[in-house]
Amino acid sequence: MRRCFFLKKMVLMLAMGALAAGTGRGAFAAPASVSGIQEYKQNISTQEYEKRYNAVYGKFTGQMAEQGNPADFMLDDGKDLFKKVEGTTGKSCASCHGENGEKLKGVAAGYPKYDPAIKGINTMALQINRCRKENMGAPELKYESYDQLALELYVKSLSNGVPIKVSIDGPARPFYEAGKAYYYMRQGQLNMSCAICHVKYAGHMIRANLLSNNRHHADHWPGYRLKWGKTGSLQKRFRGCNKKVRAKPLPFQCDTYRDLELYLTYQANGLPVAVPGFRM
Amino acid of residue 221: W
Integer CA distances (angstroms), 178 to 2, 79, 104, 244, 255, in order: 16, 34, 28, 22, 10
Choose the binding region for ligand HEC from 33-41, 59-67, 168-176, 193-201 (rule: CB under 6 A). Answer: 193-201
Query: Could you say which of 52, 97, 180, 236 contacts ligand HEC (CB under 6 A)?
Result: 97
Does position 75 interact with ligand HEC (CB under 6 A)? The reply is no
Q: Which is nearer to ligand HEC, 32 or 90 (CB)?
A: 90
Using the minimum distance from each CB to ligand HEC, give the nearer residue, 28 or 224. 224
Among residues 46, 100, 135, 167, which is the contact residue for ligand HEC, using CB under 6 A?
135
Least distance in angstroms from the C-beta of 241 to ligand HEC: 3
Beta bridge partners of 114: 121
Kindly give the interhelix angle for 146-157 and 71-82, rounded to the nearest 10 degrees.
90
Give the span between the Cα atoms of 56 and 50, in whole angstroms: 10
| Backbone phi and psi for residue 122, each to the nearest 5 degrees, phi listed first | -100, 125
Just list the catalytic residues: 241
Residue type (1 letter), 165: K
Single residue of 85, 96, 205, 226 touching ligand HEC by CB under 6 A = 96
Beta bridge partners of 77: none
Three-state SS for 257? helix
3 SS3 class = coil
CB 160 within 8 A of CB 222: no
Pick 26 or 83: Cβ nearer ligand HEC: 83
Query: Scanning residues 101 to 130, which ones bind ligand HEC (CB under 6 A)?
Result: 104, 107, 127-128
Nearer to ligand HEC, 22 or 223 (CB): 223
Q: How many CB atoms lie within 10 A of CB 154?
A: 24
From CA 92, how far away is CA 128, in angstroms rounded?
Answer: 12
Other CB atoms closer than 10 Å to residue 263's CB: what's the count?
Answer: 26
Q: Shortest Cβ distance from residue 84 to ligand HEC (Å)? A: 9
Least separation, in Å, of the C-beta of 217 and ligand HEC?
Answer: 4
Annotate each residue in 200-219 with x if it binds ligand HEC (CB under 6 A) or - if it does not, as one string. ------x--x-xx----x--
Partner residues linked to 279 by β-bridges: 225
CB of 110 to ligand HEC, least distance (A): 7
Closer residue to ligand HEC, CB minimum distance, 22 or 114: 114
Task: Give yes or no for residue 95 binding ligand HEC (CB under 6 A).
Answer: yes
155 binds ligand HEC (CB under 6 A): yes
CB 30 to ligand HEC: min, Å: 25
DSSP one-letter code for 32: S
- What are the φ/ψ torsions at residue 224 (nearest 5 degrees)? -90, 135
- Closest approach of Cβ 260 to ligand HEC, in Å? 6
Under the rule (CB under 6 A), what is the footprint of ligand HEC? 91, 93, 95-97, 104, 107, 127-128, 131-132, 135-136, 151, 155, 192, 194, 196-198, 206, 209, 211-212, 217, 234, 237-238, 241-242, 244-245, 260, 279
